[in-house]
Amino acid sequence: MGLDFAIDELYATGWTALDSSGCLRHTDGRWYPGVTRVTSEFKSSGFDLSVRHIQLFDCFRAEWKDAIGTPSGAVVGRTQAEAAVYALSHMRRRAAAAAHAEPARADTMVELKAGSTLRVGA
């Protein structure tokens, strides 16, 4: 995959480095968040992120859990930075998808056969 791909995926979510604190500069000039910054972005979204080295496969696994410890996602990368940045892109995509998939409100108007309406919930 590579750090390039992880940064591409992060930028595709709309992430920008307007606040470059905790960011690093890639060789192509793009800014990306360092592991500490990624961890704090997960915290501010209500998740705990851990990035650990898996010696057997010589890779890094980034996994995040919600506030009660339920696993919410995981990714792997060749480096710690790659895994962290890719994890942030995944978390941002899931958050955006969840925001667009809001359930219908209980007080939604429902149209009936005769053209009258019925208020469901109050």
* Per-residue model confidence (pLDDT) at position 1: 78
DSSP string, 39-87: HHHHHHTT-EEEEEEETTTTEEEEEEE-TTS-EEEEEEESSHHHHHHHH
Residue range 73-85: mean pLDDT, rounded:
97
Amino acid at 11: Y
For residues 34 and 22, is the Cβ–Cβ distance under 8 A? yes
Average pLDDT over residues 18-43: 95
State mean pLDDT over 25-33: 96
Q: Which domains does the chain have, with CATH numbers?
A: 3-119 (3.30.160)
3-state helix, strand, coil in the chain (%, to 5): 35, 25, 40
From the centroid of its chain, how far is CA 52?
18
pLDDT given at position 16:
92
Model confidence at 102, pLDDT cuts 50, 70, 90, reads: low
User: For 57-70, what is each residue's pLDDT tens digit?
Assistant: 999 999 999 999 99
How many angstroms separate the CA atoms of 34 and 79, rounded?
12
Average pLDDT over every residue of 101-117: 53
Provide the pLDDT for residue 71.
96
